[in-house]
């Protein structure tokens, strides 16, 4: 009897699942669009207050977090953060794609959904899903939803576990970045109208904006952000304000309005908000990761986060909040700048490549004709084939994809002289574009991939939309473009595109700097484990137990 008593005393007590009892009251996940993991190390000495330093000095900071797939784009990254899965699990392979089940006339975006419409747009808004792109043929503005998301998110599991009592919201300038990490059961997702900057949502979530959101839109905050960005009166809010630090503070102010208006953290269960900050990506494509403007963006965001976390502390108390920080992808340096240092960095004119490739395919399969064997809009790493055109010519999928895979390396090499730009005088020969690999849809579908790290990345990138395609992997530090100095991008399996921050703050986490190799899929797995709910349906991440405080006997 005594032995049994001692055994019971020595065992840690079993705690109730935290999400069910409101521990914590609120979880906030901050996603920074296009924020490479090394930025925190690089600018660490310049951070002040409790912005980034809240994670780095008082939280669990993982310095070596890398995505485990090859299609490093905004939509897949946000879906991965929410679901704890990769494209082969959540189904989102790019920002937009050709979907054979929906249209052979145009791509659909990762969240586009013609069954719904956007709500409460100002009368002067450009009627289109994408910022700045008018489409006068639309009778209403096409809405958005998580219809393409094939897995649940951490937020979905919170909603299921609490029978809908937990509230879950997503916020971003971009629709895909607000919708995908929040999930299918989210109470709401909010993003901006690209013209006016006012926040909107879709009838998938609600017929009209809540009163607090209408008040925010009517309060002049968008105009204030435009003044801060020195583009007062603009009708191109997304392009001009969205790329400035003012856009981050604008989003965070909307997050405050949402938390206040929905009374989050007061329901007796755990609520969740995902805030995806888009400005870094919009600017980063133009100026690159090593520019002065990028550093100023990061330092400004540090101050904004300091203010936002301070606001949370005053209103809810940081002791009642868990915070997580990550990014949807990294970024490559400007190709010409890397080439100056001797890096084998180059650009490939994809428009010219498509023209060459199509000519060769016509010569092989339709001599004397001009058939479009490729779907418009190269969007690396995917090259989508015109299935109907090949089938009309009597060509099978295997023959079509094999032909494209065979022709691509030589075509890329043939464009070298056309795409190369004169670099500052140096004794080295200029870098030339290279192909690191070409893989067909059939190879991806049947797992006929290298038994290597790269093979695993490719497998995680696969999602079938009913199209024929190949994946083109250019060499490291190489990308599409016509100028080596005209901006940069992300899409590759190389480490600079996959390296992102991962950090947590809150009562369960042991502060420290951790150097284990981890992945963004671990974010959802860790939060689900701590909250006592199921991991998302396709999750492959692990709970980061090395950074968790042991539960002591008697803790409630």
pLDDT digits 0-9 by tens, 126-151: 444 444 444 433 335 899 999 999 99
Q: What pLDDT does residue 420 have?
A: 54
d(CA 403, CA 395): 10
CA dihedral 435, 441, 445, 446 (to 10 degrees): -70
Per-residue tokens: 315: 């209103």
pLDDT at residue 482 in the model: 86
Give the per-residue pLDDT at 414: 83
Residue 426 pLDDT: 64
Radius of gyration of the chain (CA): 24
DSSP result, 204-256: TT-SS--HHHHHHHHTTHHHHHHHHTT-TT-S-IIIIITTSHHHHHHHHHHHH
What's the pTM value of the predicted model, to 2 decimals? 0.93
| 336, two tokens | 């010409």
Q: What pLDDT shows up at residue 351?
A: 92
Residue 23 CB contacts under 8 Å (≥ 6 apart), including other chains: 270
At 153 the pLDDT is 99
- Return the SS3 of 538: coil
Low-confidence ranges of the chain (pLDDT < 50): 1-16, 126-139, 556
Instruction: Output the pLDDT for position 139.
Output: 37
């Amino acid at each position: 009897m005594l032995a049994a008593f001692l055994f019971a005393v020595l065992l840690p007590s079993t705690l109730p699942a935290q999400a069910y009892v409101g521990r914590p009251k609120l979880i906030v996940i901050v996603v920074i669009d296009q924020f490479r993991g090394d930025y925190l190390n690089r600018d660490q000495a310049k951070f002040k207050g409790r912005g980034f330093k809240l994670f780095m000095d008082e939280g669990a900071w993982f310095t070596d977090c890398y995505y485990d797939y090859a299609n490093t784009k905004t939509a897949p990254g946000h879906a991965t953060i929410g679901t704890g899965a990769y494209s082969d699990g959540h189904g989102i392979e790019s920002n937009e794609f050709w979907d054979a089940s929906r249209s052979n006339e145009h791509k659909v975006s990762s969240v586009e959904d013609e069954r719904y419409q956007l709500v409460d747009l100002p009368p002067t808004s450009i009627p289109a899903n994408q910022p700045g792109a008018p489409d006068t043929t639309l009778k209403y503005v096409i809405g958005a939803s998580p219809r393409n998301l094939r897995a649940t998110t951490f937020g979905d599991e919170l909603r299921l576990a609490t029978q809908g009592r937990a509230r879950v919201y997503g916020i971003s300038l971009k629709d895909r970045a607000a919708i995908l990490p929040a999930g299918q059961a989210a109470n709401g997702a909010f993003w901006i109208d690209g013209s006016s900057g006012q926040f909107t949502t879709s009838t998938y979530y609600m017929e009209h904006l809540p009163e607090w959101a209408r008040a925010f839109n009517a309060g002049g905050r968008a105009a204030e952000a435009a003044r801060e960005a020195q583009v007062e009166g603009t009708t191109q809010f997304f392009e001009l304000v969205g790329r400035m630090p003012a856009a981050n503070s604008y989003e965070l102010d909307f997050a405050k309005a949402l938390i206040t208006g929905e009374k989050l953290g007061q329901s007796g269960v755990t609520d969740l908000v995902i805030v995806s900050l888009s400005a870094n990506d919009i600017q980063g494509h133009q100026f690159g990761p090593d520019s002065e403007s990028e550093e100023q963006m990061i330092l400004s965001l540090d101050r904004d986060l300091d203010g936002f976390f301070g606001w949370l502390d005053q209103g809810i108390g940081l002791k009642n909040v868990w915070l997580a920080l990550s990014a949807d992808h990294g970024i490559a340096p400007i190709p010409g700048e890397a080439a100056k240092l001797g890096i084998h960095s180059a650009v490939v004119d994809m428009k010219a490549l498509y023209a060459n490739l199509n000519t060769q395919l016509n010569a092989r399969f339709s001599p004397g004709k001009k058939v479009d064997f490729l779907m418009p809009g190269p969007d690396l790493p995917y090259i989508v084939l015109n299935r109907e055109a090949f089938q009309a010519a009597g060509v099978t999928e295997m023959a079509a994809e094999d032909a494209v895979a065979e022709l691509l390396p030589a075509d890329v090499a043939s464009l070298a002289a056309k795409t190369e730009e004169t670099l500052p005088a140096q004794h080295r020969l200029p870098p030339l574009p290279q192909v690191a690999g070409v893989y067909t849809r059939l190879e991806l579908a049947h797992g006929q991939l290298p038994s290597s790290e790269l093979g695993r990345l490719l497998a995680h990138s696969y999602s079938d939309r009913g199209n024929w395609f190949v994946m083109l992997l250019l060499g490291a530090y190489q990308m599409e473009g016509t100028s080596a100095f005209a901006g940069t991008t992300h899409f590759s399996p190389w480490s600079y595109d996959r390296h992102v921050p991962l950090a947590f703050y809150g009562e369960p986490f042991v502060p420290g700097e951790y150097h284990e190799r981890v992945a963004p899929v671990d974010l959802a797995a860790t939060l689900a484990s701590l909250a006592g709910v199921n991991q998302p349906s396709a999750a492959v991440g692990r709970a980061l137990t090395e950074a968790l405080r042991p539960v002591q006997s008697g803790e409630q």
